[in-house]
Chain A
Amino acid sequence: EAQVTQNPRYLITVTGKKLTVTCSQNMNHEYMSWYRQDPGLGLRQIYYSMNVEVTDKGDVPEGYKVSRKEKRNFPLILESPSPNQTSLYFCATREARNTGELFFGEGSRLTVL
Chain B
Amino acid sequence: SQQGEEDPQALSIQEGENATMNCSYKTSINNLQWYRQNSGRGLVHLILIRSNEREKHSGRLRVTLDTSKKSSSLLITASRAADTASYFCATGLSYNTDKLIFGTGTRLQVFP
Binding site for B on A (CB under 8 A): 4, 31, 35, 40-45, 48, 50, 56, 88, 90, 92, 97-107, 109
Contact = CB atoms under 8 A, between A and B. Distances in A.
Nearest to B96: A99
Q: What's the interface size class on B, roughly?
A: 20 to 34
A90 B43 contact: yes
B43 A99 contact: no
A102 B43 contact: yes
Interface of B: 2, 4, 30-31, 33, 35, 40-45, 48, 88, 90, 92-93, 97-105
A40 B104 contact: yes
25 contacts: A40-B104, A42-B2, A42-B88, A42-B103, A43-B88, A43-B102, A45-B99, A50-B98, A88-B40, A90-B42, A90-B43, A97-B97, A97-B98, A98-B97, A99-B30, A99-B93, A99-B98, A99-B100, A101-B45, A101-B48, A102-B35, A102-B45, A102-B100, A103-B45, A104-B44
